[in-house]
Amino acid sequence: MIEELQKYKSGPPTDIKITEVNISLSNGSCIAGKWWGNLDKKPILCLHGWQDNAGTFDRLIPLLPKEFSYLAIDLLGHGRSSWLPRGVPYNLFDNVYTIIYIMKEYNWQSISLLGHSMGGAIAYLFAIMFPDKLDCLVTIEFGKNPDRSDIERLEDARDNILNFIVLDEKSQAISEPPSYTIEEMIEKVNTGSFGNITTEVAPYVLERNIKKSTKFPGKFYFSRDPRLRNLILTPHPENLTLCGARNMKVPFLFMYSPESPLFAKEFFFDQFLEALQDNTKFQQVVVDSESHYYHLSEVEKISEIVAKFLIENQKVIHHL
C-alpha cells in the first residue's frame, strides 16, 4: 500500500476481505492480483484495460453481490505482475494463455469473466475459442474497433514491431524512469487518458502502477513495463469475430457507450451486435456516458445492472 495515495481516494471504505495474491504459473510467470471475498469460492476473474491494473475495479466490486468472490488480476507487464523477458513482445492474444494457466493452477474446469476495454477483448477471445469453459461473460467498453483499413492495420502492426525493438533496447539501459510527485502522477494519468480517468479516481489505477523513487525522496515512477506502449494488436479477420458471436450461447452482458471517445467502424459494429442477438442469453446495455472509464468514475451507472446479471447467471462454486 502506498500511504501517500490513500488521502486522494474518493470512494467509501469496503468491508469485503481483500487478499493480495501472487499466482506462480507453470510457464514461469507470476500474476499478481486482488482476491475479493471468500478464498474458498471460485471467483469471477476480472481483466483490466491497456496499461491499467486490478485497481480499475476497486470502486465497482464493492457494489457487486457479496455472495460471490472476485479475482482482479494484473496482466503480464502491468501492475505488480511479471514482465515478459527481453525481446518478447506483448500480444493481446497471448493473454488468453494467462487465463488457461490460472484455471490450471486452481483446477477450475470453467470460469466467469468480467473485462474492461482490452480486458473485454481478451475475455471475448477466450469466449469464442473455449465456449465450453465459460460460465458467463461481462464486458465493459469492448467491441468498438478503431476505424482503420486493413492496410492501415498492417502499417500499425509494422510500426509497433519496430517501436517495440527500440523500447526493448532502451528499457534495458535505464535503471529508473523519470519520477514525479503524487500530484504530478495524478495529473499525468488524467492527461494521458484524455480526461477519461478523472483526478478523483486516478489514485485507484496509480497504486499498483507506481513505485517510490530510490533517488528522489517523495517522488514516484511508473513501474509497469514501458514496452506495453507498443502492444502488438494482430489484425483478426472480422468474419471470425462474427462467427464467434453467432455461435456464442453463454450469458453475455455487453455494455458500451456510443459517446465514449473510441472511434468505431459503425457498419461492422452493427453487424457484430446483430450477430450476438442470436444468443438468447445476450443482454446489451447502452450506457449514458462520455467516458471510457465509467466503471470507475461513474460506477453507479452500471453497478446495479452488473449485480443483477450476476445474480441471475453466476453460480457460487467452491474450489478445492
C-alpha pair distances (Å), 105 with each of 24, 70, 84, 100: 8, 16, 19, 9
pLDDT at 320 over 50: no
Residue 297 lies in a domain: yes
Number of compact structural domains in the chain: 1
Structural domain harbouring 121: 7-146+237-313
Other beta carbons within 10 Å of 110:
15
| pLDDT at 152 (0 to 100) | 82
Residue 306 lies in a domain: yes
**DSSP SS3 for 255:** strand
Residue 37 lies in a domain: yes
| pLDDT at 288 (0 to 100) | 95
Which residue is catalytic, options 29, 69, 81, 117?
117
Query: Is 302 within 8 Å of 140 (Cβ atoms)?
Result: yes
- Clarify whether 117 is annotated catalytic: yes
Residue 127 lies in a domain: yes
Q: Answer yes or no: pTM beyond 0.85.
A: yes
Residue 286 lies in a domain: yes
Closest CA to 32 of 71, 80, 69: 80
Residue 153 lies in a domain: no
Confidence tier at 235 by pLDDT (50, 70, 90): low
What are the cell numbers at 33? 492480483
Percentage, residues of the chain above pLDDT 90: 70
pLDDT digits (tens, 9 = 90+) for 87-146: 999 988 889 999 999 999 999 999 999 999 999 999 999 999 999 999 999 999 987 666
Residue 210 β-bridge partners:
222
Q: What is the CATH number of the domain that holds 290?
A: 3.40.50.1820
DSSP for 171-206?
A: HHH-SS---B-HHHHHHHHHHHTTTSS-TTTHHHHH
Residue 214 lies in a domain: no
In whole angstroms, give the CA distance from residue 271 to residue 127. Answer: 18
Residue 195 lies in a domain: no
| pLDDT at 314 (0 to 100) | 83
